[in-house]
Amino acid sequence: MTGNAITAEGLRKRYGETQAVDGATFEVRHGEFYGILGPNGAGKTTTLEIVEGLREPDEGTATLLGEPSWPRNKTLLRRIGVQLQASAFFERLSAREQIHTFASIYGVPTARADEMLETVGLAEKSRTRENKLSGGQAQRLSIACALVHDPELVFLDEPTTGLDPQARRNLWDLLRTINSEGRTVVLTTHYMDEAEVLCDRVAIMDEGRVLRVGAPAQLIEELGVRSLEDVFLQLTGREYRE
């Protein structure tokens, strides 16, 4: 495929007095595992919402899979997967009912939805209600729902937040598989070790701008530091977790 999976140029978005995104520019290649890192309030979520076509920028343009993100494009929405927070599940439904609901929205056969539950290791929990799933299970269900229509590109917003180390590692394996099947993966995370092991490249964001982009190892070398955590500290002048 030619061109980039995502091109974002000079994105700006203001909410009242807050300049949430202030000229964000970056590109994601097809098949890339791309991380967006930044402290709370850096503008990551707003930037992704603009790229996904869910929010109109005040300025700038975003191109997603070769098409403009805005005005919202229904054909494009079918080609991308957006992981919703576990709190966005339909109330009182079981894991299987949740994913069947997503499948029916996209016209996907229920057998495919059941397969997806199995892929994320939730076949045994299919009859469990959303509010009875553990944190890791709920994250895996939300990823399964985002993948049920076999999108080319997946957006994951802090997929491993709040998980114990073993559950995080299991999810890393799943995310690697998703990417190795040829899908572009864009993820935001608060964990530098996670970005370091998973991402081909990361964009470091602060105050609505992309400060630097590169492969984790390359950034570490360029700045002459020991870890991505140090890169972050050096570029933003602050600890990642405040």
Ligand X SMILES: Nc1ncnc2c1ncn2[C@@H]1O[C@H](COP(=O)(O)OP(=O)(O)OP(=O)(O)O)[C@@H](O)[C@H]1O
Residues that bind ligand X (CB under 6 A): 15, 18, 20, 38, 40-46
Rounded Cα distance, 130 and 140, in Å: 11
Shortest reach from residue 23's CB to ligand X, in Å: 14
Burial class of residue 214 in the structure, from the number of CB atoms within 10 Å of its CB (0-12 exposed, 13-18 middle, 19+ buried) = middle
- In angstroms, what is the minimal distance from the CB of 22 to ligand X? 10
Q: Pick from 59, 51, 52, 41: which is nearest to 206 by CA?
A: 41
Residues 56 and 52: their CA atoms lie apart, in Å, by 10
Minimum distance of ligand X from residue 42's CB (angstroms): 4
Taking residue 172's Cβ as centre, other Cβ atoms within 10 Å add up to 15
Minimum gap (Å) between residue 239 Cβ and ligand X: 14
Prior bond of 71 cis (ω within 30°): yes
Is the separation of the CB atoms in 219 and 228 below 8 Å? yes
Choice between 109 and 162, CB closer to ligand X? 162
Q: Nearer Cβ to ligand X, position 106 or 240?
A: 240
Nearer to ligand X among residue 70 and residue 106 (C-beta): 70
Q: Which CB, 98 or 236, lies closer to ligand X?
A: 236
